[in-house]
Structure 1
Amino acid sequence: MLIAITPAWARIVRIDITGRQSPTFDGRVFGRVGAYEKLRGRAYGEIDPNHPQNALITDITLAPRNTKGLVEYAMDIYILKPIALGNGNHKLFLEVNNRGGKLFGGLNNSKGGNDPTTAADAGEGFLMNRGYTLVWNGWDISAAPGNNNLTITVPVAANPDGSPITGPSYEYIVFDNPGAQTYTLAYPAATLDKAGATLTVRDRLTDTPVTVPPGGWEYVNERAIRLLPAGTPFRQSAIYEFTYTAKDPLVAGLGLAATRDFVSFMRYATADDFGNPNPLAGDVRYTFSYTLSQPGRYLNDFQTLGFNADEQGRRVIDGMENWLGGSSGVAVNYRFAQPSRTERNRQNHLYPEAVFPFAYPVLTDPLTGKTAGRLARCQAGNTCPKVFEINSANEYWVKAASLLHTDLWGNDLPDPENVRFFLIAGAQHGTGNATSRGICRQLQNPTNAEPVLRALFVALDEWVTKGIEPPASRVPRRSDGTAVMAVAQPGSPTGMVPPAALGWPDIPGVTYTGTITTRYQLDFGPQFDKGILTNYPPSLAGRPVYPNFVSKVDRDGNEIAGIRLPPVAAPVATTTGWALRREGFGENDGCESAGQYIPFKKTKAERLSVSSSGLIDPRLSLEERYKTHQGYMKAVRQTAQTLARQRLLLDEDVQKYIQEAEASDVLK
């Protein structure tokens, strides 16, 4: 007798396709691949909390279970696929969403937004022309519903007797506007008694926090606070910190299992438990992921915690392109997790985001004695992906990204055989607007990394599918003299980079403080390894520091290490990955994700004119550099063509740089 037994491993048990648009993109045809269709729906999963892999999820044993003893979750899913799957390239492209939002525009050079629908939304169709199937899934408990965001529903953990779990929670509060009057808490307060809560305020990071008296604030309800008297706004750009006892933590780490199980289902399953077909059944031969910022940190944790293997031991993602993830995690697998937070040198520096291990190789932390590495679990099961870790200069200045490729003393590590590291020299966190300074002192940095991201993705695909060796890593190294070490300032979340060591030029009208994030080994309490924060927020006082560094700069202030795109190698300005806040917004504190765009003078005479500060600009003018517009075009062309030979630009993007240089007003 044959008895059908439902497997006990974690999986997607039901997939509901609730919407289909076929064709999408107004019927646009993408070469031989043809038209695409859009599928939207909801996926439902179950996991065994006793399985060793799932046991790593914080509070999983305290989550409610169904009649089979399994823990359930549900998430939004979104699929863009060739209508004729056979015409595609049989490769799945997982774009890990950022706080629920899609990043569709990046590699496609479009503004497709959160629900790409029209022919214009497809942009240049970089991925569709190559035949990839694009998928998204909800994973982030902090993602807000609406606006086509991708959400996930996970259970609330409770004590074995059913009573609410309570514990310390922490809110870092900054409003860069003058009118905010209410702040929403990440978790409900366990009590509205203010005796167990503290609110502090300071104007700048280096100021001593001042406690707001109990009569100066109140709970609006269990999920919000406000200042008193009612109608009092929070001070613009002041730093408020609120500690309180929260209740009802979500089992946020289930998001890791959700992504694992979704990609595994798309890759390996034929149908769900109810007979609903897998829309990609039998098609997927290779899987890739792409991230920008927060989801890059998510995939760092995804790898470290072993979720790139499904419960049958099969590899989930073959190749990962992580853009702007730094060396940090996403703080998703903790009690009272707040994965929407991100640490920079003025924000969120007391959350459990940046904790050992930082690098891929297995290392022993001299500060804690722990041994770990991002590769440890995947090497044991032969499920490691090939990875490109790509970061802007901003991640080195504000997120200690150098720890990705150094040991815990700051010495260079050899590249793991499956990982390459790249710095996009002089870039900020994303692409800034060179006509706006926002809350910063200088114009924002417009250096656009998308052309090199496209070329590197092609190289990653060839590495995974054909075994073609990728471009070599391009990052600052102590061994070649391109790295300059940060100097820690004990007790402060920021340190500094000495201007002389960096090589920073004294530019008229530009303030340089050398502000850089100091990476501390923080004490979150004795249950931290279980994901429970009892010492929260931790203190910086007396805590040891991990060394970190940035790239040295040339005489223009532009970085010498990394991939120097035409705006850096054939520059018209100094572009930096760091910036400072302007007056009224916490002046001279770090300006978080922003960089700077500081244009050169046009002529030698303009450069040599004495500024109001009594300085002349030490950087050569455009006239002195290029002599003519044709000279500038030649410099851009040579730089772009060199990068193409190194497989760091595609030919079509080389032509765009040349066309943009020709259309520019440089020396016209």
Structure 2
Amino acid sequence: MSGPSRYGGPFQLGHCHKKGNTAKLHIYMLTRLPFLLLLIALASQSQARIIRIEITSVQSPTFEGKVFGRVGAYEKLRGKAYGELDPNSPQNALITDIRLAPRNAKGMVEYAMDIYILKPIDLGKGNHKLFLEINNRGGKLIGGFNKSNGGNDPTTAAQAGEGFLMNLGYTLAWNGWDCSAAPVNNNLTITVPIARNADGSSITGPSYEYISFDNAASLTYSLAYPAATLEKAQATLTVRDHLGDKPITIPADGWEYASDKTIRLLPTGTPFRQSAIYEFNYTAKDPIVAGIGFAATRDFVSFLRYATADDFGNPNPLANDIRYTFSYSLSQPARYVNDFQTLGFNADEQNRRVLDGIENWLGGASGIALNYRFAQPSRTERNRQNHLYPEGVFPFAYPVLTDPLTRKTAGRLARCTTNNTCPKVFEINSANEYWVKAASLLHTDSRGNDLPDPDNVRFYLISGAQHGTGNETNRGTCQQFQNPTNGEPALRALFMALDDWVTKGIAPPASKVPRKSDGTAVIALPQPGSQTGVIPQAALGWPTIPGVTYTGLITTRYFLDFGPSLDQGVITRFPTSVANRPSYVNFVSKVDKDGNEVAGIRLPPVTVPIATTTGWALRRAEYGENDGCEGAGQYIPFKATKAERVAANDPRLSVQERYRTHEGYVAAVRKSVQKLIEQRFLLAEDGEDYVKTAQESKL
């Protein structure tokens, strides 16, 4: 987007795809209220403030008028927020390329983002707490928390589900932050400037694309950034069928630019090979200042929490209501929140705490490739996915440590400790994050040694779960059925514990993760020259199950060389391989004789199992056989009877041998549920659901 700035002076804004003074956020309400000069004067005296908000629609009540207990009905506010950042402010100067962004007449850098609020119509009946969901690639994922299908614009009573959060009186809010979010399907987006050289010319630099289609029909591939030149000699395209294969360079007559942002194979009409790994290195131009996404969330929450009105006298819709702030994030945004903390964005420009409590789900020990030149924040690395991006970059853990590989000293708590703005944090991960994203580095040093929990952080493994909830009747691209273990009941209970910790000072449940010190951790062994490592079967305790392949494949977190300017967010080279690169030590939980994990929060599907559930999986033949199956896990059912087990030579006891009767199975589930409730890992109402499901089962 380009044109005259509403403040005078030219500016240019762009999106990434794949697709002192103050940072100011402008808020303007379409429903114009009279200008209140006193409020304007008061607002202008504060530093970090919202200047203008645009509420484009109000639905009051929403959810078809559904009433949530004593809180009553909710209303929905949708709109846009227009922001400014002072590039010379110390809090903003660490945003990569912000000083190369166009400025308006006031010397500020502009951006715009979508905002979305669900609030009690009568705020006085709410609990005066903000629940900020950090959206995932523009999408809202809070439906699972509320036991509903949610949707990206929840409107109906059905989309409110059981209304877990609304019944408790939380105000829910979202804001655009991810420049790669596509402006479709009610996604929340942000528009940020394109960085330019001082003379106005395009900035160019190396960019990299990891390309893999699990279909045989894809004819083109869209680049994240336009190519600086269409000379094919200045780019390289390679292909391999398996991650362990040597990449083969595709000759210049085997591909072409269809445009400056699209490549295709030749002759025209040639599809990319199904599940093959293509890698494209080229020189790109016109990077956007993607790191502004961190400041956007900081100032949005700060406004909702602390401000009375914007600079035009329009009141903050939550003015004088919010006493505590929480965030919830799932997967990609959890990695965003990790970097949000590391970079110090939990302090606003007046050094006030932004978020009091953070619940991160499925973020692993990784950050996000957002605050870099030619950022691609939609990427995430797993053992066969998006390698060679700057995601697994030190620091991984919260305490300040010195890394023996980089010789750097850092930690996620370093900046917030200096101004007392550290939040209370729950880092919750599935088994998949330990197997494919090196999640153990969250609570160890770089050599894999256990660290004591920081005073403000706790760590939890949801045992035997994959990345999200799988379908036990669907294999997808994997060899086995996917893992249906659902972590959301534990997330709800832990969020209540987090709230109690923040608002009442009640200590949370102790961390539950694999540890070297208690013998529940199994160390990954790196494989020289390979992009992955291995967990030996004997060390893990994995049983030999007929029809199930075990290779021990695990992600190894290597120290990758992106050039000397990485600390400034500028990648000067992409590594071509991990061969002969040093690696960090990571580990997973040991398993019991059934193959189920022994460490972590063991929900009823693990403590009272009817199957082996894992956080890892392997691809089937037509999709890159025996390479890692990314975020999927496995669901490997037990045999029903002893006779079936013996006939199949399955070492795991049958369901009949374990529980003898249906009533025995239900009793075992009830006992497991009661223990989890006592440990505060399960709410009573969710425990009842487990028991009811067991009673209705046909086991």
TM-score where L is the length of structure 2: 0.94
The number of residue pairs the alignment matches comes to 660
User: Is the Cα–Cα contact under 8 Å of residues 560 and 575 in structure 2 kept in the other structure?
Assistant: no
User: Is the Cα–Cα contact under 8 Å of residues 50 and 307 in structure 2 kept in the other structure?
Assistant: no
Aligned to 1:264: 302
1:533 pairs with 2:571 = yes
Aligned to 2:697: 664
Aligned AA for 1:375? Answer: L
Are residues 230 and 587 of structure 1, via their aligned partners in 2, closer, same or farther at CA, if it must alter by over 3 Å?
same
1:511-539, Cα deviation, whole Å (9 max, x unpaired): 00000001001110011110000111453
Residue 490 of structure 1 and its aligned partner are, at CA, apart by 2.0
User: Is the Cα–Cα contact under 8 Å of residues 227 and 234 in structure 1 kept in the other structure?
Assistant: yes
1:555 pairs with 2:610 = no
User: Is the Cα–Cα contact under 8 Å of residues 520 and 544 in structure 1 kept in the other structure?
Assistant: yes
Pairwise CA RMSD? 1.1
User: Is the Cα–Cα contact under 8 Å of residues 48 and 350 in structure 2 kept in the other structure?
Assistant: no
1:107 pairs with 2:107 = no
User: Is the Cα–Cα contact under 8 Å of residues 10 and 45 in structure 1 kept in the other structure?
Assistant: no
1:78 pairs with 2:116 = yes
Residue 254 of structure 1 and its aligned partner are, at CA, apart by 0.1
Runs of 5+ unmatched residues, structure 2: 1-37
Within 5 A, what are the aligned runs for 1:275-294?
275-294=313-332
Q: Give me the whole-angstrom Cα distance separating, in 1, the residues matched to 2:698 and 2:55.
A: 51
Are residues 168 and 7 of structure 1, via their aligned partners in 2, closer, same or farther at CA, if it must alter by over 3 Å?
farther
The one of 666, 677, 697 aligned to 1:633? 666
Aligned AA for 1:69? Answer: G
The one of 605, 608, 617 aligned to 2:643? 605
Q: Give me the whole-angstrom Cα distance separating, in 2, the residues matched to 1:359 and 1:447.
A: 27
Aligned AA for 1:559? Answer: E
Q: Comparing 535-544 with 191-200, which one deviates more in the overlay?
A: 535-544
Aligned to 1:396: 434
Aligned to 1:642: 675
Within 5 A, what are the aligned runs for 1:497-646?
497-610=535-648, 616-646=649-679
User: Is the Cα–Cα contact under 8 Å of residues 243 and 384 in structure 2 kept in the other structure?
Assistant: yes
Residue 543 of structure 1 and its aligned partner are, at CA, apart by 1.1
Residue 107 of structure 1 and its aligned partner are, at CA, apart by 1.1
Q: Give me the whole-angstrom Cα distance separating, in 2, the residues matched to 1:79 and 1:538.
A: 44
Query: In percent, how many aligned pairs have the same letter?
Result: 77
Q: Give me the whole-angstrom Cα distance separating, in 2, the residues matched to 1:574 and 1:269.
A: 52
Residue 7 of structure 1 and its aligned partner are, at CA, apart by 5.2
Aligned AA for 1:161? Answer: D
Within 5 A, what are the aligned runs for 1:174-189?
174-189=212-227
Q: Comparing 24-33 with 103-112, which one deviates more in the overlay?
A: 103-112
User: Is the Cα–Cα contact under 8 Å of residues 459 and 511 in structure 2 kept in the other structure?
Assistant: yes
Q: Give me the whole-angstrom Cα distance separating, in 1, the residues matched to 2:494 and 2:660.
A: 34
Aligned to 1:311: 349
List structure 1 segments (4+ residues) > 2 angstroms apart after TM superposition: 2-12
Aligned to 2:22: none
User: Is the Cα–Cα contact under 8 Å of residues 389 and 419 in structure 1 kept in the other structure?
Assistant: yes
1:490 pairs with 2:523 = no
1:94 pairs with 2:127 = no
The one of 502, 505, 513 aligned to 1:467? 505
User: Is the Cα–Cα contact under 8 Å of residues 252 and 333 in structure 1 kept in the other structure?
Assistant: yes
1:354 pairs with 2:392 = yes
**SS of residue matched to 2:526:** coil
User: Is the Cα–Cα contact under 8 Å of residues 11 and 45 in structure 1 kept in the other structure?
Assistant: no
Q: Give me the whole-angstrom Cα distance separating, in 2, the residues matched to 1:588 and 1:186.
A: 29
User: Is the Cα–Cα contact under 8 Å of residues 49 and 307 in structure 2 kept in the other structure?
Assistant: no
Are residues 651 and 241 of structure 1, via their aligned partners in 2, closer, same or farther at CA, if it must alter by over 3 Å?
same
Q: Give me the whole-angstrom Cα distance separating, in 1, the residues matched to 2:615 and 2:176.
A: 31
Residue 454 of structure 1 and its aligned partner are, at CA, apart by 0.3
Aligned to 1:48: 86
Q: Give me the whole-angstrom Cα distance separating, in 2, the residues matched to 1:493 and 1:273.
A: 53
Runs of 5+ unmatched residues, structure 1: 611-615
User: Is the Cα–Cα contact under 8 Å of residues 406 and 412 in structure 1 kept in the other structure?
Assistant: yes
Q: Give me the whole-angstrom Cα distance separating, in 2, the residues matched to 1:388 and 1:661.
A: 30
The one of 652, 655, 659 aligned to 2:688? 655
Residue 10 of structure 1 and its aligned partner are, at CA, apart by 4.6
Residue 348 of structure 1 and its aligned partner are, at CA, apart by 1.0
Aligned to 1:117: 155
Q: Comparing 579-588 with 3-12, which one deviates more in the overlay?
A: 3-12
Are residues 346 and 7 of structure 1, via their aligned partners in 2, closer, same or farther at CA, if it must alter by over 3 Å?
farther
Residue 273 of structure 1 and its aligned partner are, at CA, apart by 1.4
Aligned to 1:613: none
Within 5 A, what are the aligned runs for 1:27-426?
27-426=65-464
User: Is the Cα–Cα contact under 8 Å of residues 11 and 47 in structure 1 kept in the other structure?
Assistant: no
Q: Give me the whole-angstrom Cα distance separating, in 2, the residues matched to 1:277 and 1:103.
A: 29
1:466-525, Cα deviation, whole Å (9 max, x unpaired): 000000000000000000000001221100000000000000000000000010011100
The one of 476, 485, 499 aligned to 1:447? 485
User: Is the Cα–Cα contact under 8 Å of residues 93 and 134 in structure 1 kept in the other structure?
Assistant: yes
**SS of residue matched to 1:391:** strand
Q: Give me the whole-angstrom Cα distance separating, in 2, the residues matched to 1:143 and 1:273.
A: 29
User: Is the Cα–Cα contact under 8 Å of residues 568 and 575 in structure 1 kept in the other structure?
Assistant: yes
